[in-house]
Amino acid sequence: MTQHIIFDLDGTLVDSKQEVLDTFKQVCEKLPPSDPLDLNSISLTATLQATLEIIYKGDAKKITEAKNIFSEVYDNSTFEKTLLYPHVYETLKQLHNNNYILHIATNKRLAPTLKILAQKQLSNFITSVKASDQTKGKITSKEEMVRQICAENNIKEGIMVGDGQKDIEAGKVCGLITVAITYGYEKKEDLIKKNPKFAIHSILELMRVISN
């Protein structure tokens, strides 16, 4: 049976921390919030909307303006500061060559996601991409993304790989084997509390997991 693997993006396949934080810094320089920006307080697993709501304290007008500034800056980046984690390219290539069908479910917006996948030469390995802004006027949750991927591809058996608690929760709800990435943005102990089927410390370990 063909196997499907759904990957989170940030903290799992790529480290976009510096790129994201630099962009938030530029946003706040152009549209100063009432309180100085604390870069350390920014959650790299949250959606853009959720982060801006905190920074601008729910001010809808400023949030909309800030979102436009962020999109203009971030979407036109070269993404050179966004780095592939070690062995990601080789692992995805091997999975693809072994006829695994690979998908992405990410809290990032669709436009920069597609650009990052292209810039990092991963696009040819990925069959489908779901992002937080795929439905106009609505933030799509990780669970909704994973459910959609499973429904559209008639996935009865598959694997969910991610560094976030929401990744593990979504995978479980959809009946997937869950693999927690411990080198990402969330704390290992928080991930383990979600009882993933496997916890791995390098993407290379995924090959061992799927062969079991």
64-96 per-position pLDDT tens digit: 999 999 999 999 999 999 999 999 999 999 999
Cβ proximity of 207 and 98 under 8 Å: no
Structure confidence at residue 2 (pLDDT): 58
Which stretch of 97-106, 185-194, 203-212 has the lowest confidence by average pLDDT?
A: 203-212
Band of the pLDDT at 46, cuts 50, 70, 90? Answer: confident
CA distance 76 to 102: 26
Mean pLDDT value across residues 59-66: 96
Structure confidence at residue 45 (pLDDT): 84
Mean pLDDT value across residues 123-128: 98
CA 43 to chain CA centroid, nearest Å: 12
In the chain, what percentage of residues exceed pLDDT 90? 88
**What are φ and ψ of residue 195, in 5° steps?**
55, 55
Band of the pLDDT at 189, cuts 50, 70, 90? Answer: very high
pLDDT at 118 over 70: yes
Structure confidence at residue 57 (pLDDT): 94
First-to-final CA distance of the chain? 15
pLDDT at 212 over 80: no
Q: Within the chain, how many helices (H) and strands (E) appear?
A: 9, 8
**Which is nearest to 12 in space by CA: 208, 196, 180?**
180
Q: 180: Cβ–Cβ under 8 A, 6 or more apart, which residues?
A: 162, 163, 167, 168, 191, 192, 194, 196, 198, 199, 200
CA 134 to chain CA centroid, nearest Å: 14
CA distance 100 to 93: 10
Strand partners, 83: 15
Question: What six digits make up the tokens of 89?
Answer: 């390219």
pTM of the model: 0.93
The single-letter code of the amino acid at 29 is E
Band of the pLDDT at 1, cuts 50, 70, 90? Answer: very low
> What mean pLDDT is reported for the chain?
94
